[in-house]
Amino acid sequence: MALLAVREKFAELSGRHDLVVDFAGEDYDDNGANFYLQNGQRMLDRKFTDRKRMAWYKEDISAGAYSLDFRYCKFIEEVWAKASGEGRYRLEKKSLAWMRNTYGDAYADQDQGMPVYFAEKVLNLGPDQVALTAATYETEFTGDAEELMLADTDHVLYTGILFMPPADTTYTISVKGKFDSPSLVDGADTLTTYWTERHPDALVLAGMWSLEGFGRNTAGQQDYLQMILDILNDVDAEEAENESTGILQLGG
């Protein structure tokens, strides 16, 4: 199901026809429904870990590049690199402290080569400096800003990696990690996510769970949560059976 169909079913089953533009006229454009569906989808993402949440982020970087930033990543599992005509290889993970100590000068001034190491960056400044931009940060400090994403961008959505040495040619960097589901709040009617396609029943229930919570109906919210957990427990069991079958086949 695409988002539009999920939104229609949510408005129908919740009785909140006001959360779409004109339910009676079969106009199911968003009028607040996406907010509750998005809150519900975030809850499902938090409570359920499955292989469909693992994904790749891939981007070509040019010679001299030493970092990469990308959105909606929960955690990074692996980072790989591949140059044209060369085999792919996995970068070795290091702590940010190790990277800063080992490459103590400006990152852009390091000798270029084949990237070998990566570390997760700390992208943001603290509350007193969070509004600094590329044009204003030097009013407070003049160096060591290379890891930051400043307020010129929507930096709170991003995760970043620093890799060393800086690339000596074009590489495809592939980051494997767990990512949030695509946002439903501003999503097109045709948007699909794992939840809209595989478990739209759980997503509709999660939207109703969110609606009950904002209405301060804790008993109703718990009823919806139990229904959701019943679905997720079955999905967990299927995932576990699938994984154990693969292990047994390999072991045999």
Quick check: is 161 in a domain?
yes
Its domain, for residue 20, covers: 1-48
The domain boundary residue, chosen from 151, 179, 207: 179
Quick check: is 243 in a domain?
no
Mean pLDDT score of the chain? 92
Instruction: Identify whether residues 109 and 167 lie together within a single domain.
Output: yes
Instruction: Identify whether residues 109 and 63 lie together within a single domain.
Output: yes
Instruction: Identify whether residues 57 and 44 lie together within a single domain.
Output: no
Contacts of 26-34 with CB under 8 Å at 24 or more apart are 28/4, 29/189, 33/7, 33/207, 34/3, 34/7, 34/184, 34/185, 34/186, 34/187
Quick check: is 13 in a domain?
yes
Instruction: Identify whether residues 150 and 40 lie together within a single domain.
Output: no
The domain boundary residue, chosen from 163, 179, 195: 179
Instruction: Identify whether residues 121 and 78 lie together within a single domain.
Output: yes
Q: What is the pLDDT of residue 111?
A: 96
Instruction: Identify whether residues 60 and 175 lie together within a single domain.
Output: yes
% of the chain surpassing 90 pLDDT: 81
Quick check: is 62 in a domain?
yes
Q: What is the pLDDT of residue 48?
A: 81
Evaluate if residue 252 carries a pLDDT over 70.
Answer: no
Closest CA to 119 of 96, 139, 135: 96
pLDDT in tens, 90-129: 999 999 999 999 998 899 999 999 999 999 999 999 999 9
Cα 252 to Cα 249: distance, rounded to the nearest angstrom: 5
Evaluate if residue 246 carries a pLDDT over 60.
Answer: no
Instruction: Identify whether residues 66 and 17 lie together within a single domain.
Output: no
Instruction: Identify whether residues 65 and 29 lie together within a single domain.
Output: no
How many C-beta neighbours within 10 Å does residue 53 have? 15
Which of 23-37, 40-54, 124-138, 145-159 has the lowest average pLDDT? 40-54
- Residue 96, classed as helix, strand or coil, is helix
Cα 162 to Cα 53: distance, rounded to the nearest angstrom: 23
- Residue 158, classed as helix, strand or coil, is strand
Q: Which carries the bigger pLDDT value, residue 83 or residue 47?
A: 83
Evaluate if residue 82 carries a pLDDT over 60.
Answer: yes
Evaluate if residue 86 carries a pLDDT over 60.
Answer: yes
The domain boundary residue, chosen from 147, 179, 211: 179
Number of domains in the chain: 2
pLDDT in tens, 202-243: 999 999 999 999 999 999 999 999 999 999 888 777 666 666
- 166: pLDDT confidence band, cut at 50, 70 and 90? very high
Instruction: Identify whether residues 98 and 32 lie together within a single domain.
Output: no
Dihedral sign, CA of 97, 103, 109, 110? negative
